[in-house]
Amino acid sequence: MPPFIDMNKCSGCSICDRVCPLDVIHFDHEKKSPIVKYPDECWHCGSCRLECPTAAIKIMFSPEMIY
C-alpha cells in the first residue's frame, strides 16, 4: 500500500484525491475520508504527500520493490 494515510492526522480536506495524477486516491464524501482505492496503480510520485496540508501521508514501498 504505497501511500499510507494516518487518519488521526487527516483533516478530510480531499486534496490528495484531487492531485493524484493516477486517480489512485478516492475521497469518500460520506465518511469524509480518503481511500487508497487503486494501490497497484500508484506511481510513487509523492504528489499526495507534497500537497497534504496536515502531513498525514507516508509513502511506504512494498517488499516487491525493496528487495
Give contact residues for ligand SF4 (rule: CB under 6 A).
2-3, 5, 10-16, 20-22, 24-25, 34, 42-48, 52-54, 56-57, 59
Question: Furthest-apart CA pair in the chain: how many Å?
Answer: 39
Sites for another protein among residues 18-57 (CB under 8 A) = 18-23, 37-38, 40-47, 49-51
5 binds another protein (CB under 8 A): no
DSSP 65: H
Instruction: Say how far apart CA 27 and CA 20 lie, in whole Å.
Output: 11
Rounded CA-CA distance 16/35 in Å is: 10
For residue 51, the minimal CB distance to another protein (Å) is 7
